[in-house]
Structure 1
C-alpha cells in the first residue's frame, strides 16, 4: 500500500509517517521508482509507535525499544527484561514532573488568591 493508504488505515497523517521514517521508526520498502510501499506489518508498527508516543516516550527512545516490544492484548509489553527498569525510570521521571507541576500550581494559586484579596480592598 502507498503512504496515503497507510495514513487512512492508521489515522496518522502522511507527514507524520514521513517523520517516523526520517527518525528510523518506520522503514518502508521502495519500488524501483522510489515510491514507498507499506504492508500490514507497517500498520501494526504505526499502532505501536502511537502507543509508545502517547505513553510520553520520545521518538529516539521509541526507535530504541520498538524491536523489543510485543503485543499483549490491548497493551504493548516489553519483551526484553532490561526495558522494565527503563520504563520504571521513565515513570519516576514523570512522577517527579507531576509533583513539580503541583508545586507550581500551588504557587500560582497563592499568587492569584493574594491578587484577588488585594484588588478587593
Structure 2
C-alpha cells in the first residue's frame, strides 16, 4: 500500500510515517516509480509504535523493543537485556514524576500565599 493509504488506515500523518522509517521503526519497499510501498503488516507495526510512544518510550528504545512486541504492542517477550532497558526507562520516568511533584508543590505553595 502507498503511504497515503497507510496514513488513512492508521490515522498517522505521512510525514510521521516517513519519520518512523528514518528512525528504523518502519520498513517500506519501493515501487518502480520510487513511491514507498508498505506491506499489510505495517498497519500493525504503526499501531505498536503508537502504543509504545504513548508509554513514554523514545524511538531509540522502541527500535530495540519493537521486534519483541506482540498484539497491539502491549505484550512484549522480555529477555534479560530488554528487562534491564525497561527498568532504566521506568527509573527515568519515576525521576521525572518526582521532579514534577516537586514543581507542583512549589506552584501550590505560591498560589496558597494569596
Q: Do they superpose with TM above 0.5?
A: yes
Q: Distance in 2 between matches of 1:60 and 1:74?
A: 16
Q: Distance in 2 between matches of 1:44 and 1:74?
A: 9
Kept after mapping to 2: 8 A contact 1:48/1:76: no
From the superposition, tell whether residues 62 and 17 of structure 1 become closer, same or farther in structure 2 (CA, over 3 Å): same
* CA-CA distance at 1:105 after TM superposition: 0.7
Kept after mapping to 2: 8 A contact 1:70/1:79: no
Residue in 1 that maps onto 2:63: 63
Q: Distance in 2 between matches of 1:28 and 1:79?
A: 27
Q: Which structure: larger Rg?
A: 1
Higher relative contact order (CA 8 A, sep 6+): 2
Ranges in structure 2 where 5+ consecutive residues have no aligned partner: none
Residue in 2 that maps onto 1:81: 80
Residue in 2 that maps onto 1:26: 26
Q: Distance in 2 between matches of 1:113 and 1:58?
A: 37
Tell me how many residue pairs correspond in the alignment.
114
- Counterpart of 2:83 in 1: which secondary structure? helix
Q: TM-score, normalised by structure 2?
A: 0.89
RMSD, aligned α-carbons: 1.7
- Alpha-carbon displacement from aligned partner over 1:7-38 (angstroms, at most 9, x marks no partner): 11111111110111111111101012111111
